[in-house]
Chains A and B, each alone.
Chain A
Amino acid sequence: MFNETVLKEIDEIKAKYPDRKSALLPSLYVAQREFGWLSHEAMECVSKALNVPEAHVRGTASFYAMYKHRPVGRNLIQLCTNVSCMILGAEKLVDFLGTRYGVQPNGTSQDSRFSLVIMECIGACGTAPAMLVNTDFYDNLSEKRIEEILEKYK
C-alpha cells in the first residue's frame, strides 16, 4: 500500500476531477515514481487508492507508451527518430548508443546505467535530433554532445 504522504497526494489529484476514475493517469505516474516501474504491486496500490478495478488499471496502463511495464535502468534515454530527427542523423545516434554504452532500443545496458526507448517526436524538430534523459531535455545532438551529456548520469 502507498504511504500516507502518497495517499494524500493522490487525494489532491482526485479533487481536481469530477470523478475518481479520471485520476488514473496521474496516479499511475505517481506509482511509477514510487516503485520505479508499474509492477503488479504498484498497479494494485493504484487500484486500491482510487477504488477502480485492477483490470481497468492494467488495461489502461498498457495502452500508454510512457508507463514503464518492466524495470528499467537507472537512467532512461528517450531518443526521437521521427522524420525531422531521422533526416538529421538520429539513426546513427541509436547505433552510437549501442556501441558506446551497450544499450539497444527497448533494452537496458548490462550495468543497468541506461535504458533506451525510441520516441515518436518530442517537439524539438527545429533543433533535431533530440532526446529526453529522465525528464531532462536535450537537442542539437551529436555523438560528442551525447557523450558530454551522459557523463552526468551515473
Chain B
Amino acid sequence: MDIMEKFLLRNIENPNSADINEYVKAGGYKNLSKALARDPKDILEELKKSGLRGRGGAGFPTAMKWSFAKADPKFPKYLLCNADEGEPGTFKDRPILEKNPHLLIEGMAISGYILGAEYGYIYLRGEYPAANDILNAAIKQAYEANYLGDNVNGKGVKFHLAVHQGAGAYICGEETALIESIEGKKGQPRNKPPFPVNVGAWNMPTIVNNVETLSNLPLIIEIGAEAYANIGSKECPGPKLFCISGHVNKPGVYELPMGTSLKDIIYIHAGGMRNGSKLKAVIPGGISTPVLPADSIDCAMDFVAMPKAGSMLGSGAVIVMDDSVCMVKVAYRALKFFEHESCGKCVPCREGTDWLRKVLERIENGNGKEGDIELLTDIAGIMLGKTFCPLGDGAAGVVMGMIKHFRNEFEEHIKNSRCNFS
C-alpha cells in the first residue's frame, strides 16, 4: 500500500485550516510567489510535463486546453472553477472548498497568471451554503493580503476572484451549461465548436476546470513536474481524491495516488465491508458511470485503466453496495435522477430518460412485462451517441451496465411480479 504525504487535504484536521494565517503558516501562498517570479510560458511547459489531467470527470490534459486558450489573441480571458460537484456520490471537492479554500484560491491565482486571465469565478453549487460563506471569507482575506487584486504580490499582475452560486441544476456542471448559467440564463449546453477556450463566457476565451484540478497547481510548482509525474499512474499522474460511500466501514474522502486499485480503496482505505456484509456491486465514478460487479474490482482507478475495466473513473466517487441492495431499484433511482436533470434541449435524452424511468419503475414495482428488458436495451441503444451532451449517454450507459451484469435480477422481478428485496 502506497501511503503518500497529503497535499490536497493537507492540514485539514486543523479546525482553523480555512484561515489564511494557518494556510500561510503551513507554507501556503509561497508557490504563488514562486510562480510570479517565472515566465508564464515556462510554467505552462512544466504543466505539460507534469501530465496533469482534469479531475472533473473527462480527464482532459489540462495543459493542452490551456494552450488553446492562451493562443487565442482575444482579451479578456476568463478562468472558471467548476465547483458544481453535482454528480451523485461525489463529495470530494467539498473538503477543499470548506477546509482548504486558500489552496484553491492560490491555484486559481497561479492559473490566472499562466493563462493571462485577470478574472476568475468559482461556480459553486447552491447546495453548499456553508462553502459559500467560507469561500467568500477566504477571498476577502486573500484580497487583504494582496494575493488577489489589481497588483498581486506587488508584481503588477491582476487577478480578481468571485463566487457565483448555482441554483440546483446538475446540468450546470457541464462546462458550456455552466457558462450559460453564469451569464444569467437557463443552464442548457451550447453547441461545440466553438469551444469555450475560444468563445466562452461573455464570448471571450474561457477556461473551465474542476476544483481539484486547479488545486494541483501549487503542488506542481512546489515539487516540479518531474516529481509530480512520478506520483501514481504513468499516463495520468498526481494525487487523486476518492470519495467512498455506501456499505463500507470507513466512508469518506481519501487522497491517494492516481491509479490506486479499486479493491484497495474499498478493502484497505475504506476499511472493508460494513458488518462483514458481502460486496455485491460498485459504482466506481459517480452515478453516471457503469456499475461493476464484485468480481471486477481488481482495477486501477485512473482515466486510462477504468474504461478497459468496463467503466469510468468519472469523479472518483465510489459507491459500494452489499447484497441487500436491489440493482433494479438502483437503476430506477438513477434514472429518476437523469429524467429530473435532463435539460430538455435534445429529444433522445428528454424522451429517453423519461421512458427508461417509466419502464424501470414498473419493473421495480412488480408490473414489468415480458420484453421490458429488450425494451430498455433498445431505448438505451437509441440514445447512445445521439444526445447533445454526455448526460444522455451517461443515463443510457447506466441502464446498459445494470442489465449486462445483473440481468437475472431484472428477469426475476418480471417473472415474480415483485421485488424480492423489499
Nearest B-chain residue to A65, judged by Cβ: B168
Contacts of A125 in B (CB 8 A): 88-91, 243, 245-246, 251, 317, 319
| Sample (12) of A-B pairs whose CB atoms are under 8 Å apart | A25-B165, A60-B185, A64-B126, A64-B168, A67-B167, A83-B334, A87-B247, A87-B319, A120-B170, A123-B90, A123-B128, A125-B319
From known contacts A22-B183, A120-B341, A121-B86, infer whether A84 and B245 are also in contact, taking CB-CB under 8 Å.
yes
Q: Contact at A19–B91, with CB atoms within 8 Å?
A: no
Partner of A126, one of B91, B162, B165, B334: B91
Q: Is A72 in the interface zone, CB < 8 Å from B?
A: no
Tell me which residues across on chain A come within 8 A of B87, comparing CB atoms.
121
Judging by beta carbons under 8 Å apart, are A83 and B287 in contact?
yes
**Distance of A19 Cα from B127 Cα, bound (Å):** 25
Q: In which size bucket is the chain B interface?
A: 35 or more
The contact of A84 among B89, B125, B129, B185, by CB within 8 Å, is: B89
Task: Tell yes or no: A93 within 8 A of B by CB.
Answer: no
Q: Which residues of chain A come closer than 8 Å to B90, judged between CB atoms?
A: 121, 123, 125
Which of A60, A81, A135 is B333 in contact with, Cβ under 8 Å?
A81
Extra contacts besides A84-B246, A126-B252 (5): CB < 8 Å: A65-B169, A87-B247, A87-B319, A87-B321, A125-B89
Residues on the A chain within 8 Å of B283, using CB: 83
Q: Please report the total number of A residues contacting B with Cβ < 8 Å.
A: 41
Taken residue by residue from 316 to 347, chain B's Cβ proximity to chain A (1 for < 8 Å, 0 otherwise) reads as 01010100110001100110010011010000
Does A101 have its Cβ within 8 Å of any Cβ on chain B?
no
Whether B246 lies near A87 (C-beta < 8 A) is yes
- Measured between beta carbons, the chain B residues less than 8 angstroms from A65 are 167-169
CA A126 to CA B248, docked complex, whole Å: 9
Answer whether residue A28 sits at the interface, using C-beta atoms and an 8 A cutoff: yes
With A81-B333, A82-B287, A120-B88: A28-B167 Cβ-Cβ less than 8 Å: yes
Q: Does A45 contact B (CB under 8 A)?
A: no
CB neighbours of B166 from chain A (8 A) = 25, 64, 66
Give bound CA distance, A66 to B247, whole Å: 30
- The answer to whether B358 has its CB under 8 Å from any CB of chain A is no
Interface string of B208-249 (1 = CB under 8 A from A): 000000000000000000000000000000000001111100
Q: Tell me the complex Cα distance, A132–B131, Å.
A: 13
Instruction: Report how far A124 CA is from B167 CA in the complex, Å.
Output: 18
B181 on interface, CB distance cutoff 8 Å = yes
A97 sits at the interface (CB 8 A): no
Contact B319 A123 (CB under 8 A): no
Closest chain B CB from A14 CB (angstroms): 11
> Of the candidates A25, A87, A119, which one forms a contact with B127 in the assembled complex, judged by CB atoms under 8 Å apart?
A119
* B81 interface residue (CB < 8 Å to A): no
Q: Do A83 and B186 touch across chains, with their CB atoms under 8 A apart? A: no
Residues of A within 8 A of B333 (CB): 81-83, 86
Q: Residues of A with Cβ closer than 8 Å to B? A: 16, 18-19, 21-26, 28-29, 52, 56, 59-60, 63-67, 78, 81-84, 86-88, 119-128, 132, 135, 137
Contacting residues, chain A, for B162 (C-beta < 8 A): 16
Question: Complex: how many Å from CA A18 to CA B119?
Answer: 10
- Give Cα distance in the complex from A135 to B133, angstroms: 11
B341 partner residues in chain A, CB cutoff 8 A: 120
* Chain B 244-284 interface mask (CB, 8 Å, partner A; 1/0): 11110001110000000000000000000000000000010
Is B94 located at the chain interface by the 8 A CB criterion?
yes
Q: Which B residues touch A126, using CB under 8 A?
A: 91, 243-245, 251-253
In the complex, are the beta carbons of B184 and A25 less than 8 A apart? Answer: yes
Nearest residue in B to A64 (C-beta to C-beta)? Answer: B167
Docked Cα-Cα span, A123 to B317, in Å, equals 11
Which residues of A lie under 8 Å from residue B189 when comparing CB positions?
Answer: none
A119 to B165, CA, bound (A): 17
- State in angstroms the CA–CA spacing of A57 and B81 once bound together: 25
Nearest-neighbor residue (CB-CB) of A29 within chain B: B165
Q: Does B164 contact A (CB under 8 A)?
A: yes
B68 within 8 A of A: no
A63 & B187 in contact (Cβ 8 Å cutoff): yes
Q: Which of B130, B167, B334 contacts A29 (CB 8 A)?
A: B167
How many Å from the CB of B189 to the closest CB on chain A?
13
Q: Check if B361 is an interface residue, CB within 8 A of chain A.
A: no
How distant is the Cα of A21 from the Cα of B168 in the complex, in angstroms? 19
B127, B182, B340: the one within 8 Å of A123 (CB): B127
| Residue of B whose beta carbon sits closest to that of A127 | B251
A87 to B244, CA, bound (A): 14
Contact A84 B126 (CB under 8 A): no
A60, A82, A83, A135 — most chain B CB neighbours (10 Å): A83
Known: A22-B184, A66-B127. A83 touches B330 (CB 8 A): yes
* B85 part of interface (Cβ distance < 8 Å): yes
Per-residue CB contact flags for chain B residues 82-110 toward chain A (1 = under 8 Å, else 0) read 00011111110010000000000000000
Whether A25 contacts B287 by the Cβ 8 Å rule is no
